[in-house]
Amino acid sequence: MKLPFWVRKAHKWIGLVIGVQALLWMISGVYMTVISLDVIHGDHLAHVSDASLNPHTQRIDLAQIGERFPQFDSLKLKTFLGKEVYEVAAAGKTHLVDAASGTLLSPLPREQVLARAKEIYQGEAEVREVTWITKAPQEVASRAIYAPLWAVHFDDRANSTLYFSPQSGELLARRHDLWRLFDFLWMLHIMDYDTRTDVNNLLLRVAAGVGLAFALSGAWLVFYSFRRRSAA
């Protein structure tokens, strides 16, 4: 049998193998280009901004911080729920200390995390639930965010969730249904069904190679067809 026969046969079977994945690439690609990344990241859900510090506020002596946290790595003065606090990084952990009284605030209780979530949330929905998480769910664990965490769930149309550090009160992640759909389609797009982060995995490389073979065989068949017509 002649070469064109085998090329057509290979092209047909390669198309059957790679066709479904190519469709998934197109669907996920359209979603990623239509929905703004700012929306996906949830920038509209919560706005975090520190209030200006008052230079005349009475604060504890920094020597007290040094006594409590010897050889601390970093120190930051900021506002949290309307009061000034020191954010101290020491021995791989972050701690909040009341700048006026020296009281250790972390780990933060549920009430303070709830108040912080309401303070920065930009919607009008009520809080549906506040949960203490000891094992990070897929939607944050894949982004190297580790438990324990506080999760504040809002009763809005997007099922929005804000994740907070119990040590620093920092907003670690914003999640909502558009983000979750994006994450699912991203998994299909890069063909990493485990961590959803590896864009250089073996399965994707194989699929890309098969897709290239499909395109090259199709291009060869088009070139061959035009040559036959010219010869005729």
Walk along the chain (232 residues) and give the pLDDT tens digit of each residue. 577 666 677 767 777 778 889 899 999 999 999 999 999 999 999 988 877 787 778 899 988 998 899 889 999 999 999 899 999 999 889 999 999 999 999 999 999 999 999 999 999 999 999 999 999 999 998 777 889 999 999 999 999 999 999 999 999 999 999 999 999 999 999 999 988 888 899 999 998 888 888 788 778 777 767 666 655 5
Q: How many Å separate Cα 141 from the centre of its chain?
A: 9
Instruction: Write the Ramachandran bin of 58: left for phi over 0, alpha for psi from -120 to 50, otherwise beta.
Output: beta
* Cα(197)–Cα(109) distance, integer angstroms: 32
* Cα(162)–Cα(159) distance, integer angstroms: 10
**CA dihedral sign of residues 119, 123, 128, 132:** negative
How far CA 141 is from CA of 47, 91, 208, in Å, comes to 22, 22, 28
Instruction: Give pTM, 2 decimals.
Output: 0.84
The two structure tokens encoding residue 35: 């929905």
Q: What is the pLDDT of residue 106?
A: 94
Backbone phi and psi for residue 153, each to the nearest 5 degrees, phi listed first: -100, 130
Residue 82 CB: number of other CB atoms within 10 A? Answer: 8
**CA dihedral sign of residues 87, 39, 158, 137:** negative
Residue whose pair of structure tokens reads 């550090």 in the numeric block: 165
Q: What is the pLDDT of residue 52?
A: 78
The DSSP call for residue 175 is: E
E strand spans, 67-194: 74-80, 83-90, 93-98, 127-133, 149-154, 161-164, 171-175
